[in-house]
Amino acid sequence: MSEDLNAQIREMMDLPAETECIEFKEVKNDYGFDKVGKYFSALSNEANLHGKPAGWLIFGVTDKLTRKIVGSNYRLTPPGLDRLKEEIAQHTNYRITFVAIHELAVDEKRVVMFEIPPAPRGVPTTWKGIAYGRSHDSLEPLALYEIEEIRRQAPLDDWSAKVCEGATYADLDPEAIAFAREKYKEKYQEKHRDRAKEVDEWDDLTFLTKAKVCSQGRITNTAVILLGKSEAASLLSPTIAHITWVLRDKDEIEVDYAHFGPPLILAVDRVFSKVRNLTVRYISGETLFPLEVTQYDPWVIREALHNCIAHQDYRQAARITVTERPGSLMFTNRGDFIPGTVQSVIERDMPSDQYRNPFLAGAMVELNMIDTIGSGIKRMFRIQRDRNFPMPDYDLDEESVVRVTIPGRLIDERYTRMLIERKDLTLMDVIALDKVQKGRPVTREERDVLREKKLIEGRSPNLYVSASVAAETDTRADYIRKRSFDRAYFKDMVVAYLQMYHEARRPEIEGLLLDKVSDALNEKQKREFIKSLLKEMRKEGAIVTVGKTRGAKWVLAPSSSKKV
């Protein structure tokens, strides 16, 4: 493989000039991460437009007309290039990243070849929301006509737009159609009052066509999903268009459940009526009286459920589920999260390049169920922030499944007061700090911003709220608990135990130390810390092991009763 790549790089170097799909860079040492991302987008799009199997970004070769191998130390030290594929994926649409990163020795010099996939048919590759391209030596946003050229390449096989065989107007629910009319008029009431007034003059088929629910007077899968009678669900077989609400107690025991089929435009409020939206009270810091708010904002619940309906992969024949637990609601739908990352959606705050069900999404826009500007997710985060509640959690780890959890419990009230007082924090700051509070991993960029604002301390991945924030929010005890003690303190405890009891097995030492190790570590990390501590004490000659591995005991070293 390396011989083939060596031959390939020689051929590339012999080209009369850099092509739109190949970029050489000298890059002796460092190179801006954002520049790498922009070139990734540009070379991916150019590879698509020129019909190439890949674009190439090559470090360690001069970009002059007479090219020379000069070598590159780019990301030479650990972790080196290992994390770069994931880091790039965090900022591209649909988590597109390198096909491979090749490290070669060419003329005894290190050359790094980044193999970049062409943009998918119909979808320009973006970096932080912008599609880039190349014009000779220039790197710039992709021209509009080039974006349209890519988008026209492959129309989606849109299941939601297909005619539902055997379905007729009689299979649609009159109550659902009447509700849809009201939602349609609501959408156009402010900006297009004339159209809103005309709705009452249209017959049902005219209305359904203009609302983009039916196609040329024929009943589509979208029409059955949103407006079909409950018994019409069988017409969609083998696909399923159902929502299931499940109530679980603190022990994960199922307490209650209910199923809701078409018309889903009415099912949303029926699901909402099942949710136990209790009242939460807390002191805001701005008044002596407690504020009373519901656990869940109604708009957030409906938005989360509408997103499930719009983006569900119905051909997987699975239900949309709403799982209610004490203090949280979890919404689950089938299908990959097309934008790739939640962060990219919030940062872009603009329509998606692609929808799984374009016809269904378009109908839901017309019926005022989802927002045409694509900012629903960002608004969900803002509402939670304004209510001083934890941020929504998106779980995208399982393939082809999206889970969104809306917390219905406050973060510790003292921390909540900090959110109220710190109006200078951006939404992205709050989202990142929310991850820290929940013990979730943050990106390197998020970590650096939080450190710069002195909001966190600790070493990755064991971060915790900083002392300054702890003091501001009166969470000093929590801060000290997470900061823990130094290693000498734990060594002294082990020695004191062995002096008194002469010997100890691993479980006994863990029982002695576990509840004193920093709460910034999880259970597994705490045990690894203790294991490392004992190994260090043995190397220092303070303790020794006696017996075989499983039954081994720790005792003080014969030469010293305390040597740490």
Q: Identify whether 257 is part of a domain.
A: no
The separation between CA 535 and the C-alpha centre of its own chain, rounded to angstroms, equals: 38
Other CB atoms closer than 10 Å to residue 251's CB: what's the count?
Answer: 6
Q: Identify whether 218 is part of a domain.
A: yes
Among 199, 221, 236, give the residue marking a domain's end.
Answer: 236
Q: Do 28 and 62 lie in a common domain?
A: yes
Q: Identify whether 423 is part of a domain.
A: yes
Helix residue ranges per DSSP H, 275-337: 298-311
| Token digits of residue 39 | 């070139």
Q: Do 72 and 22 lie in a common domain?
A: yes
Helix residue ranges per DSSP H, 21-94: 33-49, 84-89
Q: Do 43 and 180 lie in a common domain?
A: no
Which distant-in-sequence residues (6+ apart) come within 8 Å of 158 by Cβ?
A: 357, 358, 359
CATH of the domain at 75: 3.30.950
Q: How far apart are CA 159 and CA 136, in angstroms?
A: 41
Q: Identify whether 306 is part of a domain.
A: no
SS3 110: strand
Q: Do 194 and 228 lie in a common domain?
A: yes
Q: Do 12 and 130 lie in a common domain?
A: yes
Q: Identify whether 317 is part of a domain.
A: no
What DSSP designation does 231 have? G
Instruction: Give me the tens of pLDDT residue by residue for the chain, a chain 564 residues long.
Output: 456 788 888 888 887 666 789 999 988 878 889 999 999 999 999 999 998 999 999 999 987 767 889 999 999 887 788 889 888 988 888 788 999 999 999 988 999 999 999 998 778 999 988 999 987 778 899 988 888 888 777 556 789 999 999 999 999 999 999 999 999 998 888 666 677 678 888 999 999 998 999 988 899 999 999 999 999 999 999 999 999 999 999 899 999 999 999 999 999 999 999 999 888 776 655 555 567 789 999 999 999 999 999 999 998 889 999 999 999 999 999 988 877 777 777 776 555 656 789 899 989 989 999 875 557 888 999 999 888 888 999 988 787 899 999 999 876 555 566 667 777 788 888 888 888 877 778 888 888 888 887 777 777 777 766 655 555 555 555 555 555 556 777 888 899 889 888 889 888 898 888 887 776 667 877 888 888 888 889 888 899 988 765 668 889 988 655 444
Q: Do 477 and 495 lie in a common domain?
A: no
User: What is the model's pLDDT at position 59?
Assistant: 94
Among 208, 236, 264, give the residue marking a domain's end.
Answer: 236
Among 450, 483, 516, give the residue marking a domain's end.
Answer: 483
**Count of domains for the chain:** 4
Q: Do 99 and 203 lie in a common domain?
A: no
Full domain range(s) for residue 479: 415-483
